[in-house]
């Protein structure tokens, strides 16, 4: 009986390279797809693609995945710096005979980490209310709301990447670095003031992105005049007031809700981790 002929890889069945099986390869491909999608969204003429059929966006990340990846990416530098600063602080305070308990330290780390994630993910979840407020009353229907939500997720993710990244990093530095005992009280006050001003300025940048740049792109893609006062009459103008009211009301409410849920989760997690660590060292 003749032996079976071995299969030769063809273009229809490409051979998988060994390095493509590495876990980091998939993450690298996701990162590449994110920036490819971001470039396409920010390119001139993107409104036509985003307003067209889903087939036109076959090479794009889905809107929810794109925005969630952007939120994580924006928080990544702050999350990377946080353990370095807090580890240094814990090491120095040990020499100062700090009485802070293990659970308190873990809870502090958790609260700081949650703080870096809250704003990016709150802006993402705000879409559930804001998508309605991107449309005039006459244009309200399921399909238009779905499209407005998709546009918000894409433009918030594309335009807010760096403003949210630097604002989150400034927030972490402001709330942690100025408390290191290695610095004198005068130096701590000076550092706290500088970081506060930097954080404040960066959050103003993010505020302008959310209330000006993002809706301008959304309204243009939805067919409204993108700027206030450009319409021939009030009925033709984009619903700027409704959008901004929704953002200014919903974002703080979502932040408070996430902060409350995060605080409960951090307390429960810190108690469990502290208990496990104590048992492990016994």
Contacts (Cβ under 8 Å, ≥6 apart) of 92: 180, 181, 182
**Predicted local distance difference test score (pLDDT) of residue 272:** 62
- pLDDT at residue 8 in the model: 45
CB 85, CB 133: distance < 8 Å: no
Which helix or strand (DSSP H or E) is residue 75 part of? helix 63-95
**pLDDT recorded at residue 255:** 79
pLDDT at 12: 47
CA distances 63 to 59, 70, 267, Å, are 12, 10, 32
- Residue 46 CA from chain centroid, whole number: 22
The answer to whether 161 and 120 have CB atoms below 8 angstroms apart is: no
Tell me the chain's radius of gyration from C-alpha atoms: 24
Among 122, 129, 125, 130, residue whose Cα is nearest residue 211 = 130
3-class DSSP state of 3: coil
Please report, in tens digits, the pLDDT of each residue of the chain (282 residues total): 455 554 444 444 445 555 555 567 778 888 999 999 999 999 988 877 887 777 777 888 999 999 999 999 998 998 888 777 777 766 666 655 555 565 666 666 667 777 777 778 888 888 888 999 999 988 999 999 999 999 999 999 999 999 999 888 887 877 776 666 556 667 767 777 787 788 888 889 999 999 999 999 999 898 888 676 555 555 668 899 999 998 988 888 887 887 777 666 656 655 565 555 555 545
Joined tokens for residue 124:
């993402």
The size of the chain, in residues, is: 282
At residue 98, what are phi and psi to the nearest 5 degrees?
A: -65, 140
> How many Å apart are CA 191 and CA 234, to the nearest integer?
49
């Amino acid at each position: 009986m003749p032996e079976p002929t071995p299969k030769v890889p063809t273009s229809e069945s490409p051979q998988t390279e060994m390095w493509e099986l590495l876990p980091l390869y998939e993450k690298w491909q996701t990162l590449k797809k994110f920036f490819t999608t971001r470039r396409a969204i920010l390119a001139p003429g993107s409104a036509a693609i985003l307003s067209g059929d889903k087939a036109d966006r076959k090479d794009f990340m889905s809107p929810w995945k794109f925005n969630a990846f952007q939120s994580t990416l924006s928080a990544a530098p702050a999350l990377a710096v946080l353990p370095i600063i807090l580890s240094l602080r814990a090491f120095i305070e040990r020499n100062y005979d700090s009485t802070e308990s293990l659970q308190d330290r873990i809870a502090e780390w958790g609260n700081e980490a949650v703080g870096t994630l809250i704003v990016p993910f709150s802006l993402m979840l705000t879409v559930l209310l804001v998508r309605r407020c991107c449309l005039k009353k006459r244009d309200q229907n399921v399909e238009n709301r779905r499209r407005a939500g998709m546009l918000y997720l894409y433009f918030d993710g594309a335009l807010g990447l760096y403003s949210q990244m630097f604002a989150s990093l400034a927030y972490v530095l402001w709330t942690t670095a100025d408390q290191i005992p290695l610095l004198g009280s005068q130096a701590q006050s000076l550092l706290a003031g500088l970081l506060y001003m930097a954080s404040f300025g960066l959050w103003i940048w993010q505020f302008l992105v959310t209330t000006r740049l993002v809706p301008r792109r959304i309204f243009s893609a939805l067919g409204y005049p993108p700027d206030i006062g450009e319409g021939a009459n009030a009925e033709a103008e984009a619903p700027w007031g409704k959008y901004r009211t929704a953002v200014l009301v919903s974002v703080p409410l979502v932040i408070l809700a996430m902060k409350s849920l995060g605080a409960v989760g951090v307390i429960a997690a810190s108690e469990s981790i502290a208990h496990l660590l104590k048992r492990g060292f016994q």
